[in-house]
Structure 1
Amino acid sequence: MNALSPFGWAYAAGAGLRNALYDRGWLAAHDLGAPAISIGNITAGGTGKTPIVALVAGMLIESGERVCILTRGYGRRDPAKRVVVADGSAILADAETGGDEPVELARRLGGKVVIIADADRVAAAKFARDNFGVTCFVLDDGFQHRRAARNLDIVCIDATDPFGGGELLPAGRLRESPANLCRADAIIITKAEAAVDLTKLGQEIRRFAPEAAIFRAESGVSGFTELAAFLAREADQTNRNLPGPAFAFCGLGNPKHFFKTLDEAGVEIAGTKAFRDHQRYTQADAERLDQAAKDAEAAAFVTTAKDAVKLQGLTFGLPCFVGELAVRVMPADAFRELIMAAGRKNH
C-alpha cells in the first residue's frame, strides 16, 4: 500500500469512523424483512459485479423466490427519486431514468425480477415488500451500505486490479481498506481468466479475510446481437461472429478488460474508444464514432450491454453489435449451495 494523499487520509478517516460506529453497535443495521444477499466491492467501478448480481438473482428466481434487486442506480437523471425499473413482469424504465446497470440487469433477467433504484435501500425494501410481495433481496453494490442488514455479504475483487492501485479515493480506486474484507462472508475473484497469479492473489486476500469462502469467476463473450434486436429483446437473434473488423467502444470502469475479452474471443479489432463510466451517449458521440470507425476501416461496431441500453434512438453509419457476456462462478456447486442457504433464511 502506498502512502495516503491528504485527500486519501480524509476519505480513510471518514470511512473508518463510519465502519467503527457499525462495528461497535452505535449505528444499527436495519432488517429488510426478508433474506438479503449483498454483492459489492472495495474498489470503484469495473470489478465485473453486475453479471454476478444477475447470476445470483437468477438462481434465486429459479428456486421460486420473488426477488428484488435494490440499487442506487448510478448515473441516472434524478438520483434522489425512487424508480421502479422492473416490476417482475416488465421493464418500466430506461437507462436515463433508472440507470444503465439496473436496466442492463432487468434485460439480463428478462424483466422477471423487481428492481428498485433508490438511495434509501431500507425504505425501498419496505416499498418492495408492500407492493410486490418480495421474498428475497439482492443488494447491488451493498458492501459499504451497512445500514441495510444482510444474510450474506459477497465482495467481488478484480483479478486484474485487486486493490485499486493501493490508494483510497480520490488518489486511487479503493473505497475502503482491504483490511475490511474481514466483514465479507464470501469473496469472488472476478476476471480470474486474466489473473497473473491466481494462487498468490488468493493468499493475499486470505490475509485480510481468513474466514471467507473464496470463489473465482470467469467471463467470456457468448455471442453478438445486432443493436436493434438487442433493444427489442430478441435473444434468438444472437450470432456467433461479427461481419468483419470491428470498432469497439464502451463506457466502463475497466474498458481494457472488455477490449481484451473481445480479442480473446477472436474478434478482429480495428480500433477502440473508451468513454467515461456511465457515459450518456448523444448523436454527436455516434457521429464521432462513425468517423473513427471509417478511419480504422472497420466493418461494424461492437459494444457492451451496459452501453447498449443507452443507445436507443441513435443512428450509426455501420452495423452495431452488442457483445453478450457469460459468467460462471467456481466451484459452481458450492456457490449455489451458499446462495440457496442465504436465500432460505428466515423463511
Structure 2
Amino acid sequence: MTSLVDRLWYGKGRPLFLLSPLSWLYRAVAEARRRKAIKAHTHKLPVPVVVVGNITAGGTGKSPLTAWLVGTMQSAGWRPVVLSRGYGGNSSDYPLLVTEDTLPSLAGDEPVMLAQATGVPVVVDPDRCRGAAFALDNDLGDVLISDDGLQHYRLPRDIELSVFDGSRGVGNGALIPVGPLREPVSRLDTVDFVVVNGAAAADDEGRVPPEALSGIKHPQMYAMDLQPTRLVNLKTGETRSPESLQGQKIRSIAGIGNPARFFDTLKGLGAKQIAVPFPDHHRFRPEDLGAESGHMLVMTAKDGVKCRSFAPDNAWVLYVEARLPKAFSESFLEKLRASFGAPTS
C-alpha cells in the first residue's frame, strides 16, 4: 500500500488527475468548514492552545514533535495537557483521561504512546472542544497542545505548527484524492511555524531555506531529526543501545504513516533487516509478530503499545526522540509568552 501511495501521490506527475473534480469538491468543503468554525469562535480559551498538525495525509512526525514540545514547555515552567482525537480507539465514554496503562483499543495507539513518553495528562475526545473543557474544569494544566489538530477548526488556537516529511514534502502538490494535501499549500500562510522532519539542508541555526523543500516557503521553517535513543524488550524491559543493532539480523515491522522512514533508521544503524510494513494504525495480532529463527523482532513505540500483551520474548521497541534547534525553541517560547505571558505555576 505504501509503495502505491508513493507512486500515486509522491511520485512525478498526477496519475489520478481524472479525479480532479473530487479534489475541487474536497477543497470547497474543507474551506467552508474552516470559515464556519472560525466565524463561530466567540472567545479564546483562558489558557494558550498549541496545535500540531500537517496539511498532508500520512505520517510526518507529529507525535514526536508533540512530545518534544511538552518537554520544552515543562522546562519553561508550563504544565502541558495533550488533546487527541484518539484515532483507532473506541471508548464508550468521552472525554477519556489516558494513563500509561490505558488500552490502545479504547484510547488509540498514539495517545497511549504520548502518555507513556511524556507523563503528562492526555485527554482523548473526538470533540476536542469538549476535551479542552474537561482539562480546564479539572485543572489538569495551564497550556493545551492538540496533537494532529490542524484541521479540527472548532478548537480556538494561539499557535499552529505544520509538520512535513523532508523526503516527501507536498508530493505532487494536489489535494486528496489526486494528491496528499488535506489543505492547499496557501494554508501555510496562516501557521506560525513549519517543521521539516529530516530536512536535507538547514543553516547553522537549524532554519530550512525556502529552496530546500519544493513548494514550501515560510519565514519560520526549522529542521527536525528523529534520533534513536534506546532499544527496549517488550517482555522483560531490558534496555540496550541502538548501536547494538549493528550487524544484527532482525524482522522489522511498522504500522505507521511512513514505515520507510523507520526502516531507513534501522538500516542506518547497521541492522540486517527483513522489513514488513503494515497500514497506519494497524490492529496487530499475535500472528503478525512471527520472526525468522535467529532474528530479533523490532517495532516502533506506536506499535509497541498495541503488542505489549502478546509480544514474544524477542520483541523489541526502538524509541526515538525529536531533536530541534535552539533557535526554534527560543522562537516558540517567545511566541507562547507573547500570547499569554508567563506560566501560571
Give the TM-score taking structure 1 as reference length.
0.84
1:324 to 2:331 alignment: no
**CA deviations over 1:252-298 (Å, ceiling 9, x no partner):** 110111101111122221x1111110011112323xxx2xx32xx55
The counterpart of 2:80, out of the listed 46, 67, 71, is 67
Give the counterpart letter for 2:232 in structure 1.
Answer: T
Please give the secondary structure, in 2, of the residue aligned with 1:142: coil
How far apart in 2 are the matches of 1:65 and 1:35?
Answer: 10
Give the counterpart letter for 1:300 in structure 2.
Answer: M
Identity %: 32
Give the counterpart letter for 2:295 in structure 1.
Answer: A
Judged with a 3 Å threshold, the aligned counterparts in structure 2 of structure 1 residues 132 and 94 are, in CA distance, closer, same or farther, namely farther
The equivalent residue for 2:155 is 148
Please give the secondary structure, in 1, of the residue aligned with 2:321: strand
Judged with a 3 Å threshold, the aligned counterparts in structure 2 of structure 1 residues 47 and 30 are, in CA distance, closer, same or farther, namely farther
Determine if contact 2:89/2:108 at 8 Å carries over to the other structure: yes
Number of residue pairs matched by the alignment: 318
The equivalent residue for 2:124 is 117
The equivalent residue for 1:279 is 282
The counterpart of 1:12, out of the listed 3, 20, 27, is 27
The equivalent residue for 2:46 is 33
Cα offset for 1:183?
Answer: 1.0
The counterpart of 1:336, out of the listed 312, 329, 335, is 329
Judged with a 3 Å threshold, the aligned counterparts in structure 2 of structure 1 residues 133 and 82 are, in CA distance, closer, same or farther, namely closer
The equivalent residue for 2:65 is 52
Cα offset for 1:155?
Answer: 0.6
The counterpart of 1:314, out of the listed 310, 317, 329, is 310
**CA deviations over 1:86-137 (Å, ceiling 9, x no partner):** 3xxxx3522111111111111111x2x1110111212211211111342111
Which portions of structure 1, spanning 4 or more consecutive aligned residues, are displaced by more than 4 angstroms? 1-4
Give the counterpart letter for 2:67 in structure 1.
Answer: A
The counterpart of 2:254, out of the listed 236, 250, 257, is 250
Determine if contact 2:233/2:315 at 8 Å carries over to the other structure: yes
Structure-to-structure mapping, 1:1-347, within 5 angstroms: 2=14, 3=17, 5-21=20-36, 26-28=39-41, 31-78=44-91, 81-86=94-99, 91-109=100-118, 111=119, 113-193=120-200, 200-202=211-213, 204-206=215-217, 209=218, 212-230=219-237, 237-240=239-242, 241-242=244-245, 244-269=248-273, 271-286=274-289, 290=290, 293-294=291-292, 298-316=294-312, 319-330=314-325, 332=326, 334-344=327-337, 345-347=339-341
Which stretch has the larger CA shift, 41-50 or 25-34? 25-34
How far apart in 2 are the matches of 1:173 and 1:204?
Answer: 13
Determine if contact 1:29/1:149 at 8 Å carries over to the other structure: no
How far apart in 1 are the matches of 2:61 and 2:201?
Answer: 12
**CA deviations over 1:38-66 (Å, ceiling 9, x no partner):** 11100112101110000001111222222
How far apart in 1 are the matches of 2:175 and 2:162?
Answer: 17
Please give the secondary structure, in 2, of the residue aligned with 1:257: helix
Give the counterpart letter for 1:70 in structure 2.
Answer: L
- Structure 2 segments unaligned to the other structure (5+ residues): 1-12, 203-207
Judged with a 3 Å threshold, the aligned counterparts in structure 2 of structure 1 residues 186 and 40 are, in CA distance, closer, same or farther, namely same
How far apart in 2 are the matches of 1:310 and 1:281?
Answer: 7
Which stretch has the larger CA shift, 298-307 or 1-10? 1-10
How far apart in 2 are the matches of 1:158 and 1:79?
Answer: 34
Determine if contact 1:30/1:148 at 8 Å carries over to the other structure: no
How far apart in 2 are the matches of 1:65 and 1:26?
Answer: 29
How far apart in 1 are the matches of 2:92 and 2:180?
Answer: 22
Cα offset for 1:198?
Answer: 6.9
Give the TM-score taking structure 2 as reference length.
0.84
Judged with a 3 Å threshold, the aligned counterparts in structure 2 of structure 1 residues 222 and 133 are, in CA distance, closer, same or farther, namely closer
Cα offset for 1:337?
Answer: 1.5
Judged with a 3 Å threshold, the aligned counterparts in structure 2 of structure 1 residues 257 and 34 are, in CA distance, closer, same or farther, namely same
Judged with a 3 Å threshold, the aligned counterparts in structure 2 of structure 1 residues 29 and 57 are, in CA distance, closer, same or farther, namely farther
